[in-house]
Structure 1
């Protein structure tokens, strides 16, 4: 991992990306790294493009916002179109398989996987797409360990949904195996 990894999670309001960002930052803190998390909603919070940002670093973090993403997740076409130009050329793009990628996009790796469909069809709850996405990001990048990620997920999800969310994480890992 570089000194600092900048991660941008994008999608539409209501997809749980803010929670996903908080969970990712918490997993990094559990691991002993520094982490900072921030978010922004468009004025059209539900349905419009929203983003959560996480910076993970072994060193002090001197600027709290993602300038150029090393890792970017997009769950909607609107969000990808809005934020894709902030992905580094050697970055990793993780998108839902329903999304069209611009043909001129430069990235080290583009991973298109059915996160939304996995949440709604395989698990039966579309609300866990954010956790499926976290599992996929972990499986692709190893930015945090599975153990710390699971610990952070279980500390943040509503009581009674722990098993559901553990399954969502596992399905995320499976998508990128």
Structure 2
């Protein structure tokens, strides 16, 4: 049974664990089995942080990531932390502003303006939602609608419009990258 492994990585305070929970909820709602694991340094902001999803159509044979299909890096703190889990099949998405050390290898790596886009929308704190939109479009793991529903269900109502715009901007960014 095929599994898909996804890692959200960066530094504490970037909403990585929330992004992973949002995607896990959307995938579980679509009938997929999802195992999530988190790791972070014992500082509230700035330390290495990551959340992994192992996704399967049946039971996942192992709940921890061993070979990443998708890697999202939002901060230089995580730039080299996943090198041993990447292969030719991997897609690596990095924030063009906050990641200066882009992993190199036989995989595809894209530098995308996640932070810049979030700032242009009025709040850099939605960088994770912009990145989630791009990951959604590029991975094809789940249609955008269930992910947007998860975003709206798991974030404050007062940020609904901002999160909708951030997710849409990420989707658009990815479509432009593929074209």
- 1:144 alignment partner in structure 2: 142
- Describe the superposition over 1:65-93 as per-residue Cα deviations: whole angstroms up to 9, x where unpaired: 11121100001112012223322231000
Report the Cα distance in structure 1 between the residues aligned to 2:26 and 2:87, rounded to whole angstroms: 24
1:51 and 2:43 correspond: no
Within 5 Å, give how 1:103-118 maps onto structure 2. 104-107=104-107, 109-118=108-117
**Aligned to 1:51, what secondary structure does the other structure show?**
strand
Q: Does the Cα contact within 8 Å between 1:4 and 1:56 map onto a contact in 2?
A: yes
| Cα shift at 1:45 | 4.2
- Note the C-alpha offset of 1:171: 0.6
Q: Within 5 A, what are the aligned runs for 1:78-89?
A: 78-89=77-88
Does the 8 Å contact 1:12/1:45 carry over to 2? Answer: no
**1:111: Cα distance to partner?**
1.4
Which structure 1 segments of 5+ residues have no match? none
1:162 to partner: Cα distance: 1.1
Q: Which residue of 1 aligns with 2:16?
A: 17
Aligned residues: 173
CA RMSD of aligned residues (A): 1.4
2:132 aligns with 134
Contact 2:87 2:105 in 1 (8 A): no
1:170 deviates by 0.3
Runs of 4+ in structure 1 deviating by more than 4 angstroms, as ranges, are: none
